[in-house]
Chain A
Amino acid sequence: MNCTRRNFLIGGSTTLFLSGFFPKLSFASMQKKNLIIISLRGGMDGLTAVPVIGDKRLKKLRKKLILEDVLKLNSDFGLHPKLEIFHKLWQNDKAAFVHATNIPYTGRSHFDGQNLMETGAHIPYKEKTGWLGRGLLASDIVGKGLAISLPMPLLLRGVPQNNNFFPSPDFVETKLIDRIYDEFKGDHNELIKSTLDTIRQRPLSMQIATDSDDRKKLAQEAAKQLKDQNGPRVAVFELDGFDTHAAQGGVDGAHADELEEVNEIVKILYENLGQAFDNTLILTLTEFGRTIKQNGGYGTEHGYGSAILMAGGLLKKSQVYTDWPGLKKKELFEGRDLNSTIDSRAVYNSAMSMCFDKDPEFLRRKVFWGDDLPDLTEELFKI
């Protein structure tokens, strides 16, 4: 890698724009904008997904994990070959990456880290709601969240009336639902009654029985819902298995298998959203990256800085947005991990601001306790 931290700062604009917030009321912004989050649990390795090209130190420390056939992004960064849909979208300014980024959490516990990536807070388990839920509530968007999981993810909690979609193994007869509904008519339980209303108003396509382990089917259905102008505006997917302590491998290793799943979901969303893909932003979430150095099992340990993968027509352009910290020993976090130079929450806050048409400053105060998070909407998104 030829570039140093310095010329990145010159090349990529990380200056703060002090412009006021004026959402444009063009036709495009009248269209419903979708925000789709994919949680990558276990610690996604940013250096495997979006490797730096030609870094001798990385090659030396990861002898057994080196990728061949890396897809080229620009002179400095490549893309894991399993992320081919991102590469395709990159050609049309519909994929971008934020690199050397993480939530401000430097412990290395999955559980604390996952809790913080969802709450957006500093202290594990302290907050009981998610940043996305708070963001929706602050933006007066109620009843527009769709979780592709059975329990409501922490990320979406904090705003009422979300829907979730994770079909049971067998079909539930509509007649049965109607009968139970009738029996609740005389009851004073408003919550159950309104939930039964939501169930009864579900489109036919959601009334299916399927193997909920089949993520493809769920993604197809989610796309169908998101496409609907009156449907959900936010969807949350969950993937796990990124915790590759062993046999992480290069092109075909254990981490590659997980990236392939991300790729699959994004591909299905892209293919099924059609035109609505232009009004969609997909972004990933993870609790931390992984160590630079491979371990004795040719895997990696829990680290710090990682990358955010993004796709969708709401991106400003194809870019690897980073303030690259470098991989020399002294540039690493605690001498072992890629550093984080961008607080991931700045990206999330900006993404919500753009998708929900809300002032980023307002959201920052409402959702992230006024933490110092620069507004990146101009750099990253179409506004």
Chain B
Amino acid sequence: MSLNFFRRVAFGLSPSDKKPDDPLPWALNQLNTVPEFLWPGSIPTEKELRKKYGEWVYGDREVLRKKFKNDKNEYKKAKDDLRLKTGERYFELNEHAIRHYQTKYSQQPVFERFWLFWGNHFAISEKDFLAEFSTGPYQREIIRPNMVKTFEDMVQSVTTSWCMIHHLDNSESVGPNSRRGLESRDTINENHARELLELHTVSPSAGYTQEDVIQLAYIMTGWGHKWSRKNLETGDVWFDQEKHQKGDKQVLGVKYKNDAKRELAKVIHDLATHPVCIEFVSTKLCRHFITDEPTSEMINPVIEAWNKSNGNLIDIHKAVIKQAFKYNDTTHKFHPPEIWLMQLSRMFDLNIPLSSDRMNYNFKSRPTNRQGQLSWILREIGHSPYRAKQPNGWSDVEADWVSPELLLRRFWFASVELPRLVKSENQLHDFIINCLKNNFDNYESMASLIHQFRFGTTEKDLGRKFGVICNLPGVLKV
């Protein structure tokens, strides 16, 4: 078995990780429980952060816009102050630190890889101020606890989460024959219904029609944030019967009797256990861990595990890992920039994220450059995790990550920024060779490459060393 299995299903081995004797059980045993967050700094709850979100939008929309309507400069200044006061510039940086710290130190790194996968499957793309306040806690509180339950449980939680509802506009959706619809002539917004079908569950291969989307949107009407003058759109999610479309509905040939808020759970059950959904999501899992175009031979055992366990994610994850193990030496997978960065950070014990003490924030001045460093790096390498451009999340195929500029950014990071993140005690040649030895079967040829170039020990030389090493074919891919 090649050492790259530890990068295929996790983040490689750190200098202090003990090399597992038996890699497959090592990986499988990590999936039974939800590991605690290790970040010693502040981990605010989703609710706390949503309150901050509310303070920010209320302060801007209801106060500042009115107060400074004649003066764009004063308005801009007051708005910047409000950003600081509400943490609008800070919380995302802290979320990145929590996330990165976890992937770097977790004793269940394989679990963490699945966490990244599901957060991207149920992606929250860049919209309003979700990345600033809500996407991070959504990943922590909605995605993560469901990873030891069933897929259906996860879809239920995600679909009624404030973050996803806001992201896909379900609060704006009104049944045209509901009391509210008849009064205001408002109608449905299909966004959330369409993505629930297309991205989250059955995918277009299920052959649903526009009418199915409309009918599902009818079922979903009424689920939205509780709006109030003070909290605006940041109130809790509830079911508003006044907006709910009356009458029976039918989605993918199944009839749903008029049953108010209970309709949603029923349709989600049917979607999440639909054979096409199972195949679609199993394929995505294999694509993430095995290769861009997984074969049905690779996927079928995952589908079997899914069916056998009634969608239990622990069993599904284990089946995926077994397949990843089986095909480890015969397939290739190119990793997107964030995972690549996390692997480099763990393998070489880089000095990111910033220590939790120094991540503390005063809510008065702009976050420091150091506090923003990790987020800046992620942005510069083109993969700011909570800012996917579209609801389908970040791509998981190589073709989307290999553009001239995106490759150059990796060369830049490894040769210019990374040397500054190497702890001073780790700059020794032997340390680096040891890291390579932990993680690469061909470490000797990597070492001889370094030797051959006669790199010295200046920062520039260190840059050249890492610039090449981190971008070798066997490092960009497993």
A residues bordering B, Cβ < 8 Å? 64, 107, 109, 111-112, 115, 123-126, 128, 150-152, 154, 162-170, 172-173, 175-177, 179-180, 183-184, 187, 189, 191-192, 195-196, 198-199, 202, 245-247, 249, 252-254, 257, 296-299
- Chain B residues in 8 Å Cβ range of A109: 169, 191
Contact A125–B391 (Cβ < 8 Å): yes
Contact B382–A176 (Cβ < 8 Å): no
Contact A172–B473 (Cβ < 8 Å): no
* Alpha-carbon separation in the docked complex, A343 to B468 (Å): 50
* Alpha-carbon separation in the docked complex, A198 to B408 (Å): 11
* Alpha-carbon separation in the docked complex, A183 to B474 (Å): 10
Contact B380–A172 (Cβ < 8 Å): no
* Alpha-carbon separation in the docked complex, A165 to B477 (Å): 24
Given contacts A112-B191, A180-B468, contact A245 B65 (CB under 8 A): yes
Is B178's CB within 8 Å of the partner chain A?
no
For residue A176, give the distance in angstroms from its CB to the closest CB of chain B. 5
Q: Which of B32-40, B230-238, B356-364, B395-403 contacts A (4 or more CB under 8 A)?
A: B395-403
Given contacts A125-B392, A183-B473, contact A195 B416 (CB under 8 A): no
Contact A297–B66 (Cβ < 8 Å): yes
B residues 2-41 touching A (CB-CB < 8 Å) = none
Given contacts A150-B409, A179-B468, A183-B472, contact A296 B66 (CB under 8 A): yes
Contact A199–B407 (Cβ < 8 Å): yes
* Alpha-carbon separation in the docked complex, A166 to B406 (Å): 9
Given contacts A169-B380, A180-B472, A183-B472, contact A297 B412 (CB under 8 A): no
- Chain B residues in 8 Å Cβ range of A124: 191
Pick the contact of A247: B68, B382, B406 (CB < 8 A). Answer: B68
User: Residue on B with the closest CB to A108?
Assistant: B172
- Chain A residues in 8 Å Cβ range of B399: 191
Contact A173–B468 (Cβ < 8 Å): no
For residue B332, give the distance in angstroms from its CB to the closest CB of chain A. 8
Given contacts A180-B468, A245-B65, A249-B72, contact A125 B194 (CB under 8 A): yes
What 0/1 readout, one digit per residue, does chain B (400-421) give for beta carbons within 8 Å of chain A?
A: 1011111111011001110000
Contact A202–B404 (Cβ < 8 Å): yes
B residues bordering A, Cβ < 8 Å? 61, 64-66, 68-72, 75, 125, 127, 169, 189, 191, 194-195, 198, 332, 334, 380, 382, 389-392, 398-400, 402-409, 411-412, 415-417, 449, 453, 464, 467-468, 471-473, 476-477
* Alpha-carbon separation in the docked complex, A192 to B407 (Å): 9
Contact A192–B476 (Cβ < 8 Å): yes
- Chain B residues in 8 Å Cβ range of A180: 411, 467-468, 471-472
User: Residue on A with the closest CB to B392?
Assistant: A125
* Alpha-carbon separation in the docked complex, A298 to B65 (Å): 8
- Chain A residues in 8 Å Cβ range of B332: 189
Given contacts A112-B191, A164-B405, contact A172 B70 (CB under 8 A): no
Contact A199–B404 (Cβ < 8 Å): yes
Contact B75–A246 (Cβ < 8 Å): yes
For residue A342, give the distance in angstroms from its CB to the closest CB of chain B. 26
- What 10 A-B pairs come out closest when comparing CB atoms? A297-B65, A246-B65, A247-B72, A168-B412, A298-B69, A187-B473, A164-B405, A170-B416, A176-B467, A247-B75
* Alpha-carbon separation in the docked complex, A111 to B124 (Å): 12
Contact B389–A151 (Cβ < 8 Å): yes
User: Residue on B with the closest CB to A166?
Assistant: B405
* Alpha-carbon separation in the docked complex, A142 to B472 (Å): 28
- Chain B residues in 8 Å Cβ range of A123: 194
Pick the contact of A189: B66, B449, B473 (CB < 8 A). Answer: B473
In the complex, 18 of the A-B residue pairs with CB atoms within 8 angstroms, ordered by the A residue number, are A112-B191, A125-B194, A125-B195, A150-B405, A151-B389, A152-B403, A172-B416, A173-B464, A176-B467, A177-B411, A180-B411, A189-B473, A195-B403, A199-B404, A199-B408, A245-B61, A247-B71, A297-B66
- Chain B residues in 8 Å Cβ range of A192: 402, 407, 473, 476
User: Residue on A with the closest CB to B468?
Assistant: A179
For residue A123, give the distance in angstroms from its CB to the closest CB of chain B. 8
- Chain A residues in 8 Å Cβ range of B191: 109, 112, 124
User: Residue on B with the closest CB to A183?
Assistant: B472
Among A111, A112, A184, A253, residue most surrounded by chain B Cβ atoms (within 10 Å): A111
Contact B404–A163 (Cβ < 8 Å): yes
User: Residue on B with the closest CB to A254?
Assistant: B72
Given contacts A183-B473, A191-B399, A249-B72, contact A172 B65 (CB under 8 A): no
* Alpha-carbon separation in the docked complex, A304 to B247 (Å): 33
